Structure 1
Amino acid sequence: MSKPVIRTSRLVLRAPNPEDLDRCAVLLGDYEVAKMLSRVPYPYDLELGRQHLARSVKRWENIADADELGFHIDHEGDLIGGVGFKKLQETPEIGYWLGRPYWGKGFMSEALDAAIGWMFENTGHERLACEAMTENQASIKVMEKAGFRPVGEVGCASVSRGETLPAIRSEMTRTDYLSSL
């Protein structure tokens, strides 16, 4: 399978590329964004970002064996965020982020719907999980709107904060997804 490009009414979801580094540094370098993510350091580290993007590009070369796959989200030609899947050899977990200037405009709900559709249409996975820090009510609302159902409380390690914070784990089945269409 070649690298997919998913188009919605306002967005393009595409595989990351090394040229995204500077824009990622700007958007993920905002503490208000980084503090709600598990794996993003603050301040943003350009070398770690470069390494992450290189791995993200390489994973798309063989998606059947990939442990993670990510999409970058473009709006009007500009990178505004990302959505990705980890633990692809188990029960996949979807994660997402959006640059602060783009919050509150419905972009993440639109991107998440497209990414979830891609996952269930292109893999044999029967279940998809998602976690959000309890304090991140906007992210929890996005999960709920997408059709995820809470299944429990977990701890979410935050690199930027150097601690584990309470989070809500939610799940969606293929049947849930198909019944929402």
Structure 2
Amino acid sequence: MSMPVIETERLVLRAPCPEDLSACAELLGDYEVAKMLSRVPYPYDLEGGRAYLARSVERWQDVAGADEIGFHVDHDGEMIGGMGFKKLQETPEIGYWLGRPYWGKGFMSEAVEAAVTWLFRNTDHERLAGEAMTENAGSLKVLEKLGFRLVGEVGCASVSRGATVPALRMEVTKTEFLNGR
């Protein structure tokens, strides 16, 4: 499978590339963003970011064998966030983030809807999970809006906080999601 480009009304979802490092560092270097994510350190680690972007490019070369794949989200030609699907060899899980200047504008709901549609139309996965920290009302709202339903409470290990924080796990099936569109 080649690296897709997904276009929505306002956004372009595309594969990450090494040139995204400075935008990642700026947007993910904001503690208010990093603290809501499981795998992002604070302060942002440039070498770790460079390695992550290189792995992201490699994963798109063999999507069928990849354990995860990611998209970066562009608005008006600038990267504003990212998302990915991990655990692709099991029940995949979606994760996403958005730079703080772009919060509250509906960008992530639009991006997640497009990415989930792509996943269900281009893979054999029948179910998708997502987890968000209980204090992250924005991320929980995105999942609820797209038809994900609560399946339980979990702990989310946050690298930036150095602690595990309460989170909610939500899921949606392929049929539920595509019928809701």
TM-score by length of 2: 0.99
> What's the CA shift string for 1:15-74, capped at 9, x where partnerless?
000000001000000000000000000000000000000000100000000000000000
Structure 1: distance between partners of 2:178 and 2:42: 38
Shift, 1:179, TM fit = 1.4
Unaligned runs of 5+ residues in structure 2 are none
Runs of 4+ that moved beyond 2 A: none
Is residue 2:73 matched to residue 1:73? Answer: yes
Correspondence for 1:129: 129
Residue 36 of structure 1 aligns to a residue in which SS?
coil
In the alignment, what sits opposite 1:44?
44
CA–CA separation in structure 2 for the residues paired with 1:7 and 1:143 = 20
Q: Take 1:146 and 1:116, find their aligned partners in 2: how far apart are those partners?
A: 9
- Secondary structure, counterpart of 1:129 in structure 2: strand
Identity across aligned pairs (percent)?
75
1:77 and 1:6 map into 2 onto residues whose CA distance is 14
Q: Match of 1:109?
A: 109
Question: Using the alignment, how far apart are the partners of 1:146 and 1:177 within structure 2?
Answer: 7
Shift of the alpha carbon at 1:177?
1.1
Question: Aligned partners of 2:92, 2:142: CA distance in 1, in Å?
Answer: 18
- Equivalent positions of 1:142-161 (< 5 A) are 142-161=142-161
Letter in 2 for 1:9: E
Letter in 2 for 1:83: M
Give 1:125's aligned amino acid.
H
Aligned to 1:177: 177
User: Can you give the 5+ residue segments of structure 1 that lack an aligned partner in the other structure?
Assistant: none
Secondary structure in 1 matching 2:64: coil
SS of corresponding position for 2:171: strand
User: Aligned equivalents of 2:62 and 2:115: distance in 1?
Assistant: 18
1:58 to 2:58 alignment: yes
Q: Distance in 1 between matches of 2:101 and 2:179?
A: 33
Pairwise CA distance, 1:175: 1.1
Residues 106-132 of structure 1, C-alpha deviations (whole Å, 9 max, x = no match): 000000000000000000000000000
Matches of 1:30 and 1:65 in 2, distance apart? 33
Equivalent-residue separation in structure 1 for 2:18 and 2:124 (angstroms): 29
> How big is the alpha-carbon RMSD for the aligned residues of Structure 1 and Structure 2?
0.4
- Shift in Å, 1:146: 1.1
Partner of 1:21: 21
Q: Secondary structure at the match of 2:154?
A: strand
Per the alignment, in what secondary structure is the counterpart of residue 69 of structure 2? strand
| Contact 2:117-2:178 within 8 A present in 1 as well | no
The answer to whether the aligner puts 1:7 opposite 2:7 as a matched pair is yes
Q: Distance in 1 between matches of 2:152 and 2:73?
A: 29
- Do structure 1's residue 120 and structure 2's residue 148 form an aligned pair? no
